[in-house]
């Protein structure tokens, strides 16, 4: 299948590489040329402008946020240049409000819009082990399923309304941030009584909370291992903000999301924005004077 791929950050690069390994023709565009160059040796074809990515069977975008997506897809005229009947597979974490706007823009352009945000960090993207939540036109999803299979270990369908996939992604990241904050506060509590955070987290992540997210982030918190960042703390702040906005739009209170937002904002204000968002757990220990 001929694929246009827009956005080669830490996640997008691994995803595009797996599409190449699966035998697809992948044409890539990225603001930074360095990321493009790394994929050329694997068989990718470089593009000069984002609109060229829509001259393909399927266009995939993996951009950082609403602002980047608007600039690259809408303001540049890329979507307007797409041929009617094209398919756009949007795999970024975007706000519920902006997804609604994108759906309308795609409807006017005659382009099928599929939302397919992913759960997983950069190592899982490189290994093709992402979990992908997907929503959009059923026929279009069926056509892109081989691509989803190449990039992920499982696809989780959520119906025809694209916003459903994005709100599940937002909810998932809210839950992850909550887990990181809880582990950080629990670590500060036990250290206040002379128990090492690593000892407590080893017990609890192998008993009550024996799940990949708790194990992975628990180890990072215990070891204060926040660099290099696979998911920057600033992105966590953005995603918790998306949860608050989505909740407000439907009159759904999210009181703990407000706490998380303020704690993440504190971390950014203290110069920790480029650290992995596991550093949110380290904030609790710093507030307790344990740094």
- Residue pair 114/87 in contact (Cβ under 8 Å)? The answer is yes
- φ/ψ of 163, rounded to 5, equals -60, -25
The catalytically annotated residue of 129, 154, 169, 232 is 169
Tell me the angle at which helices 162-191 and 255-269 cross, rounded to the nearest 10 degrees: 70
What's the CA gap between 178 and 130, in Å, rounded?
21
User: Which two tokens mark 221?
Assistant: 């918190």
- Tell me if residue 135 falls in helix, strand or coil: strand
Contacts of 255 by beta carbon, 8 Å cutoff, 6+ apart: none
Q: How far is CA 16 from the centre of its chain?
A: 15
- Residue pair 135/151 in contact (Cβ under 8 Å)? The answer is no
Residue by residue, DSSP assigns 258-271 as HHHHHHHHHHHHTT
Annotated catalytic residue 169 = yes
Which uninterrupted H or E stretch holds 149?
A: helix 138-151
Radius of gyration of the chain (CA): 20
- Residue pair 140/114 in contact (Cβ under 8 Å)? The answer is yes
Residues 192, 234, 248, 176, Cα dihedral to 10°: -50
- Catalytic residue numbers read 169
């Amino acid at each position: 299948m001929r694929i246009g791929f827009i956005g080669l950050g830490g996640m997008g690069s691994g995803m595009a590489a797996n599409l190449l390994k699966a035998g697809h023709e992948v044409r890539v565009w990225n603001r930074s040329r360095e990321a493009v160059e790394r994929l050329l040796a694997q068989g990718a074809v470089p593009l000069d402008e984002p609109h060229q990515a829509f001259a393909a069977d399927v266009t995939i975008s993996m951009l950082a946020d609403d602002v980047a997506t608007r600039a690259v897809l809408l303001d540049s005229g890329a979507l307007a240049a797409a041929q009617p009947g094209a398919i756009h597979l949007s795999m970024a974490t975007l706000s519920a409000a902006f997804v609604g706007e994108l759906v309308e823009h795609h409807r006017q352009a005659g382009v099928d819009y599929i939302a397919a945000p992913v759960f997983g960090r950069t190592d899982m993207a490189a290994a093709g082990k992402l979990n992908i939540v997907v929503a959009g036109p059923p026929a279009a999803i069926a056509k892109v399923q081989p691509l989803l299979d190449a990039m992920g270990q499982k696809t989780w369908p959520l119906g025809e309304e694209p916003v459903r996939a994005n709100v599940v992604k937002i909810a998932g990241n809210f839950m992850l941030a909550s887990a990181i904050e809880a582990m950080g506060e629990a670590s500060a509590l036990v250290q206040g009584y002379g128990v090492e955070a690593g000892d407590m987290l080893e017990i609890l992540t192998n008993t009550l909370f024996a799940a990949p997210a708790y194990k992975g982030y628990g180890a990072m918190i215990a070891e204060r291992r926040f660099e290099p960042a696979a998911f920057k703390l600033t992105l966590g702040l953005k995603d918790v903000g998306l949860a608050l906005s989505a909740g407000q739009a439907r009159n759904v209170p999210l009181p703990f999301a407000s706490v998380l937002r303020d704690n993440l904002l504190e971390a950014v204000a203290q110069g920790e924005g480029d650290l992995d968002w596991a550093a949110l757990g380290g904030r609790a220990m710093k507030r307790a004077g344990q740094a």
